[in-house]
Structure 1
């Protein structure tokens, strides 16, 4: 009666690209969670900056880990960094990937332009190559690293170099925007709790009770 039907693989993939309730609702949920984290505003903002920067790195599948490590290094809120990796999503990854890879080639003095289809196929090919080489340890197959070397030189290294400038810029902007907003929200919330407490004490006093004691 209370058993939930498991989601199909097709539904999981579909919700990865378009979450239930839409991207706006998902963004609102992330913002709500960030504002209510029990930590000073500057620590939460540092965590957000770390998570945003991590979203620009080429460590796909490891963005949570990257964000957590960076947040710990800058003494930010780790949970805030994990939530902030929401910046990297199927809508933004295509823009981030092309920008970082081609900026990296330019910074390395290479006159090379790589577009999204090649980036995606390179990541897929490198993953398959690593898996094939791993299996070769237990079989008679010969490990082949040529495809992985090509991926490293043409995509991964330029991506890693090129992510630094936009990643740091985006992280800095995120910190500058988030810190005053979270600080103002926390002060407003504290004032509301204080006002509510004082009102409750006043009501007890007018009823003849001792506001310093529980009823």
Structure 2
């Protein structure tokens, strides 16, 4: 394959780059911003896609953020690629803060006792394992334990979902308001540069044709 790595990454390298990308988060951030600005779509559609991608980062559907971003961007008539790239907001550095804000706010709204934030991601991992084991139990002699998932729904998933709506909505609105003028200004500058380049090339061709015409010998 043409684009295949010469030296495949190990699992440790893959996990490490998830927490610290090659070149650092600063470079990764500017790369995403650069790609978003150059998307061939009207600014309002790109901004809607960015808002959709940011919003899903505040939902507890880990592992399905890409799919949710696509669906939400489609419903909002936003740019799907922008939505996918905007899920970059949710990363290993920001998820602890997003989870803490969403869970604590949800517990406050629902009037539930708070649980340590350190247990949240472990609870999601155990719930995923339980869901898989329960699905497999249909074809085996194992007994499904839905009571554990019910506790997870009540203690973690529901407050996270409820608490993530308000900060997710606020963050998506801010993202939209920042992206719309930024993308609009970038596209206007790009169109202006392309027009200037076209005019210069057109003038150069006209000048060259004029010189060529003058250089021809008059017909006898």
Shift of 1:114: 2.2
RMSD: 1.2
Counterpart of 1:74 in structure 2 is 76
Aligned residue pairs: how many? 207
Structure with larger Rg: 2
Q: How does 1:100-115 map to 2 (within 5 A)?
A: 100-110=102-112, 112-115=113-116
Residue 137 of structure 2 is aligned to residue 136 of structure 1: yes
Counterpart of 1:191 in structure 2 is 192
2:167 and 2:115 map into 1 onto residues whose CA distance is 17
Shift of 1:128: 1.3
| Ranges of 4+ aligned residues in structure 1 off by more than 4 Å | none
Give the alignment partner of residue 21 of structure 1, picking from 20, 23, 38.
23
1:208 and 1:6 map into 2 onto residues whose CA distance is 55
Counterpart of 2:46 in structure 1 is 44
Cα deviations across residues 132-161 of structure 1 (Å, max 9, x unaligned)?
Answer: 212212221111112111110011011111
Gap runs ≥5 in structure 2? 211-220
Shift of 1:59: 0.6
* TM-score, length basis structure 2: 0.91
Shift of 1:94: 0.3
User: For 1:208, what is the secondary structure of its paired residue?
Assistant: helix
Counterpart of 2:58 in structure 1 is 56
Shift of 1:14: 0.6
Cα deviations across residues 35-74 of structure 1 (Å, max 9, x unaligned)?
Answer: 0000000100000000000111101010011111111111
Counterpart of 2:161 in structure 1 is 160
Greater per-residue helix proportion? 2
Gap runs ≥5 in structure 1? 210-215
